Amino acid sequence: MPGEVNRDATCLFCRIVAGEVPATVVAEDERTLAFLDINPASDGHALVVPKAHAADLGAADPEDVAATARAAQALGARMRERLGADGVNVLTAWGEAAWQTVFHLHWHVIPRYAGDEARDRLRLPWTPSPGDPAVLASVAARLTAP
């Protein structure tokens, strides 16, 4: 990774990376920082961010995407081992329509505790139901077209 990291002085997560805003850091490496979410969906809910500023998944350096995915994977495994999580959700939002509120790429790493509503407050945001086969075929054709 190059010596100087790209930062945005107005970005909350860049300010956390720079140590200007306090955070409860739970993991760090050369490219990434992981810290507890101050509005947790479950006990242990953390955010993994690249140290370099990128507004979202589309703007991020692919190496930072890979590094944050590896960091999220390692943190999720640690949550299962050390927090007794039954599972882990890992997710990111790309754009305001996808509920992104802080415009610095970040992965939510959310430990899940089956049947323990005191520790796990996350609820599925949609009700899965079968898709229309014609719509699925149309979407697939657009996504696979050259």
Q: What is the pLDDT of residues 84-117, one digit of tens each?
A: 999 999 999 999 999 999 999 999 999 999 999 9
In CATH, the number for domain 12-144 is 3.30.428.10
Length of the chain as a residue count? 146
Taking only the tens place, the pLDDT of each residue in 33-66 is: 999 999 999 999 999 999 999 999 999 999 999 9
> Residue 35, exposed/middle/buried by CB under 10 A (0-12, 13-18, 19+)?
buried
Active-site hit among 53, 104, 106, 108 = 106
What is the per-residue pLDDT for 3?
Answer: 56
User: What is the pTM (predicted TM-score) of this model?
Assistant: 0.92
The verdict on whether 106 is a catalytic residue reads yes
Distance (Å, whole) CA 13 – CA 102: 8
